[in-house]
Amino acid sequence: MSYDTAERSNYDAQPVALYSFQVGPNSWDYVNGEEEVYLAGVTYLPTNITDNGETMSGEIATDEFVVSISKDANFVALFRATPPSAEITLIVRHWNRGEPDSPVVGTYLVKAAKRTDEVSWDIVCRAYTVSLNRNGLRLGYGRYCPHALYDHNCQVDPNAYKVTGSIISLTGTSFNVSGIVGQVANYFAGGYFEWEWLPGVIERRAIETSNGSLIAVMGTTDGLALGTSIALFPGCDRTTIMCNSRFSNILNFGGFPHMPGKNPFDGKPVF
């Protein structure tokens, strides 16, 4: 019996939903049934999981796909402290027991997670196509550079300024790292650090301040441990002085430092 035949049948269909949460090469796979499912090389573990169904209001940017999942599912542990910065995708399949096919019925981006009661969490998702439809201001007009440091507009190569080391002491909001010698105070302020959080997945967090080997994190140090190997990247205050002196990148500076201080639209007849 084909998948289509089972779906159209009044009595032969035995539908279940398969959910795959993916971060890089890592996957958490669940089925909303009582028995484990092995399909196409993937093992789906039984758990208490359901969703609110696909909605089509006509405004795809506001349509939310919400998955309710047991607090005991391993995937939920990712959100119990600091949510990951890496992109998390969700692939939903529908499968009839005994059939070889399990068509994909939805692909989503995980946007948020929240605990709803003592036994379950809600994973809030939006359709993957939302990211193709976003509008917004491309660049701001101001004295400071509007580019994100190290992006395709800034064009600074982060690897040219990377400093590597390992964590030698740790608190909830800061850590000391080996390998930092001779850096001025706040050299890394406004920059970021990264480490391999899961196999093949890089986690990144912002740096608030730095003083020698002491790094204060914007947020918490959740997920770090003594001996963790990390890479640090310096920040930028988005002025011409720092752009030129630290990065020698003044040709790509995106701000207008010589803007006049008088507003031509303040109502006065003389500008």
In-domain check, residue 141 = no
Residue 260 has a pLDDT of: 81
Residue 69 has a pLDDT of: 94
Determine if residue 58 is left, alpha or beta; phi over 0 gives left, psi from -120 to 50 gives alpha, anything else beta: left
In-domain check, residue 136 = no
Residue 145 has a pLDDT of: 93
In-domain check, residue 39 = yes
Number of domains in the chain: 2
What's the pTM? Answer: 0.78
The one-character DSSP state at 249 is: -
Q: Are residues 99 and 169 in the same domain?
A: no
In-domain check, residue 75 = yes
Q: What is the pLDDT along the chain (271 residues), one digit of tens a residue?
A: 555 666 666 656 677 899 999 998 999 999 998 889 898 889 999 999 999 877 666 665 667 889 999 999 999 999 888 888 889 999 999 888 777 778 888 899 999 999 998 899 999 998 877 666 566 667 778 899 999 999 999 999 999 999 999 999 999 999 999 988 888 999 999 999 999 988 888 999 999 999 999 999 998 898 899 999 999 999 999 999 999 999 999 999 999 998 887 777 777 776 5
Q: Which helix (H) or strand (E) holds 241?
A: helix 240-245
Question: How many CB atoms sit inside 10 A of residue 175's CB?
Answer: 22
Task: Yes or no: say if 120 and 48 are a contact pair by the CB < 8 Å rule.
Answer: yes
Task: Yes or no: say if 223 and 176 are a contact pair by the CB < 8 Å rule.
Answer: no
The dihedral through the CA atoms of 175, 176, 178, 184 has a sign that is: positive
What CATH code is carried by the domain that includes residue 51?
Answer: 2.30.110
Which residue's structure tokens are 């190290």? 150
Task: Yes or no: say if 28 and 47 are a contact pair by the CB < 8 Å rule.
Answer: no
Residue 22 has a pLDDT of: 95
158 Cβ contact partners less than 8 Å away, ≥ 6 residues apart: 150, 233
Residue 83 has a pLDDT of: 84
Q: Are residues 126 and 229 in the same domain?
A: no
Q: Are residues 106 and 168 in the same domain?
A: no
In-domain check, residue 225 = yes
Q: Are residues 23 and 106 in the same domain?
A: yes
Give the domain range for residue 212. Answer: 162-233
Q: Are residues 118 and 200 in the same domain?
A: no
CA 271, CA 263: separation in Å to the nearest integer? 8
